[in-house]
Amino acid sequence: MASPRDQAVLQAIFNPNNPFGDDLCLEGEGELTDDDSRFDSALVAQAKELELRGMFLAESGDIDAAMEAFDQAIAIIPERASAYNNRAQALRLKGDNTGALSDLNKAVELSEGKGRTACQALVQRGLLYRLNQQDPEALHDFQQAAGLGNKFARKQVTLMNPYAALCNRMLAEMMTNVIKPEPPSV
C-alpha cells in the first residue's frame, strides 16, 4: 500500500480542486468507506491493485497506461464504482470532460450515493457542472457530498448561496472601510 504521503499526493492529483491536506470525505467523526462486501474479496484486491497502479501511472504522466489499468479494474468488477471515479479523473487529465462526466454518473449510480467513492464522484461531478455553468446541478451534487461530510462541498454550497454571497460581499466591504476608511468628502 502507498504511504500516507503518497496517498496525499495522489489525492491532490486526482482531486486537484479540493483543498490540499483535508480529508475530504468524512461521515460524523470517521472516514467514509465503500462497502465492497458484496464482491469477491480476491477480485476486489485485484481491482484495487490495478486502480493504485493506474493512479501511480497518472502521477508519472502516463495517462494512457493509467486508463488501461482503470479499464482492467472495471473489467474485473463492472459493478464497482471506484474504478469509474478514478478513470474519470484520468479522463479529465486528458481533457475529456464528457467522458469524465459519464464515468462520474456511473460511479454515483453504482455507489447509490453512499461511501467514499460517491462523495468523491459527487464533488468532481459538481465541479464539472460548474465548469459547464450548470449551477443547479452542481449545487445539488455539492449538497449531497456535504451531507456525506465533505468540507470542500460545504464551502461550495455556501459560496453558491446567493444570500451568503451577498452577505460575504457586504462584510468584505465593511471590513475594507474599517481597515482603510474612505476620506471624508469635502
* CA separation for the pair 166, 143 (Å, rounded): 20
What type of residue sits at position 69?
Answer: A
Dist CA 32 CA 163 (whole Å):
31
Percentage of the residues of the chain whose pLDDT score is greater than 70: 81
End-to-end CA distance of the chain: 70
95-104 pLDDT per residue, tens: 999 999 999 9
Which one, of 83, 85, 11, lies nearest residue 47 by Cα?
Answer: 83
pLDDT(147) > 90: yes
Whole-prediction pTM: 0.75
pLDDT range class, residue 176, cuts 50, 70, 90: confident
Statement: residue 126 has pLDDT above 90: yes
Domains observed in the chain: 36-179 (1.25.40.10)
How does pLDDT run across 13-72, given as a tens digit for each residue? 555 545 444 445 655 545 678 889 899 999 999 999 999 999 999 989 999 999 999 999
Residue 183 confidence (pLDDT): 76
Q: Concatenated DSSP letters for 113-158?
A: T-HHHHHHHHHHHHHHHHHTT-HHHHHHHHHHHHHTT-HHHHHHHH
As to burial, measured by CB atoms within 10 angstroms (0-12 exposed, 13-18 middle, 19+ buried), residue 68 is: middle
Residue 86 CB neighbours (<10 A): 29
Q: What phi, psi does 136 have (nearest 5°)?
A: -60, -40
